[in-house]
Every structure is written in structure tokens, then in C-alpha cells.
Amino acid sequence: MSATTRTAIVTGASGGIGGAVAERLARDGFAVVLNYAGNAANADKAVAELRAAGRQALAVKANVADVGEVGQLFKATVEQFGGVSVVVHCAGILPVRTIVEDQDLSLFDQVININLRGSYAVMAESARRMTRGGRIIAFSSSEIAKSFPKYGAYSASKAAVESLVHTLANELRGREITVNAVAPGPVGTPLFLSGKSQAQIDELSKLAPLERLARPEDIVGTVSFLAGPDGAWVNSQVLRVNGGFVY
């Protein structure tokens, strides 16, 4: 690897938005590390396709809520590519919805463990490992501005992620590392579509003035901007990339 090689870790990169982010950053010239939790076949296929296109790519399994495994993810990245320039934390879950009154604490704990603890662990390790001038990009959700019923655990986890973004940006003062979040609205990925009827999908598709669900490629350009030279002065911000779903 040359001294000028830029390396990006993308969590949750075996499909959906994470997979699209990894592909875009590879096209932008980054060596990409695709993190996955369970779908090794998808991750390995994505890596093979990127390498066939002349890109540098590596798949690494890690549960983002496990601090030890997160550490190994970063260790493998440094060993393979020499450093970490960008981290895009896409990994998360959107489980079957329940109302707060049901007091389903097992589900609440599961969501908080992956979405919030996982974000905390990845952002903390990013701060420890990242080279000067790096970029940390978390994923939130524009849903938290709608406060839909039955999304309590998910909304709480994402609101806390946004708070972490602002805190970490201040803690990294003087290191030229930016910390931002991207907050999509509804995106037509398996994660979002799972468990929804066609009527629900049609209704959600109409909420944005553009009257459709986003596609992963609608989101990745914003990540590319934040990770690239033109995003250097954007820091401690949440970019709501949602087609006008909320503002």
C-alpha cells in the first residue's frame, strides 16, 4: 500500500445501504473493508466483484456490539491497508415494532445493544485508530422527527446516536477529524421493507414530496461528499437525506 492510500471501513456492508456505500467509496478510490455480522456469502461476493473491477477490498466479520470484535475489525484493517481514513457506520436493526406500553424490554435491549452500543463501540474505536484528517460518519434516521407509533426503541437509539455525533466531534477538537451523521427517510431495502404490507409501503412512499421510497444510491452520494475533500468543513452535523420526508 502506498502512503497516500485512503482506507474506509463500512459496517453493515453485506447489503442494503452499507453495501452501496462500500461500492461507492471503492469507486471513489478508497480501499474498503466490508464489515458484516452474519451474511458472509453476500460480503464475499461484494469483495470479489470489487476486486474484479480493480478495487482493493476486504471482508471482515464482527458484531458491532462486541467491543473485542470491533477492535479486531480495526486491527485487520490496519494490518491489511496500513491505517483507517474513513469509518461509515451503517450497521443497525429495525425489528418488529411494538408500542412502549407493551414494555417489551427484551426487544428494547436488542435494539439498544446493536444500534446504540454498536455505534458507541465503533465510534470509540474510530477515534482511537483514525489518522489525522479522518472522517467518522454514523447513520441515524429521519424517522425520529416523525415519532411514529411503535418505533420507540428504534427512535430512542437513533436520537442517542445523533447526540454521540455532537459529543465526539467536540472531543476530537484539534485532530482535524470530522464526525457527522446521515439520516435517511424510508429506503427500499430489505431491512426497511421486512414485515410491512404493500399498503403500508405504498403509504410510506407518498410521505415525501418526491412520492417514492429512496434507493440506496440516493443516499451514498451524501456519504461520498462527507468522506471526500469537499466535506472537510462539515462537522457535527446531521444531514437529513430524505426527499423532503421531514425537515
* Domains of the chain and CATH, by start: 7-185+216-239 (3.40.50.720)
Confidence at 190, pLDDT banded by 50, 70, 90: confident
Mean pLDDT on 191-196: 79
Report which secondary-structure segment, H or E, holds 48: helix 40-52
Rounded CA-CA distance 42/210 in Å is 31
List residues with catalytic annotation: 154
Q: Where are the alpha helices (DSSP H) in 134-177?
A: 152-171
Note the pTM of the prediction, 2 decimals. 0.94
Dihedral sign, CA of 209, 159, 167, 177?
Answer: negative
Backbone angles phi and psi of 40, in degrees to 5: -65, -35
- For residue 95, the model assigns a pLDDT of 82
- Of the CA atoms within 13 Å of residue 61, those in its CB half-sphere come to 7
Cβ-proximal residues to 151 (8 Å cutoff; 6+ apart), any chain? 97, 143
φ and ψ at residue 244, rounded to 5 degrees: 90, 10
Residues 196 and 208: beta-carbon distance below 8 Å: no
CA–CA dist 216, 1 (Å, integer): 30
The CA-based angle 133-114-130, given to 5 degrees, is: 15
Is pLDDT above 50 for 6?
A: yes
Nearest CA to 240 out of 152, 171, 139 is that of: 139
- For the chain, the average pLDDT equals 94
In the prediction, which pLDDT does 119 show?
98
**118 with 222: CB under 8 angstroms?**
no
Give the pLDDT of residue 97: 76
> How high is the pLDDT of residue 60?
98
Q: What are 7-46's pLDDT values in tens digits?
A: 999 999 998 999 999 999 999 999 999 999 989 999 999 9
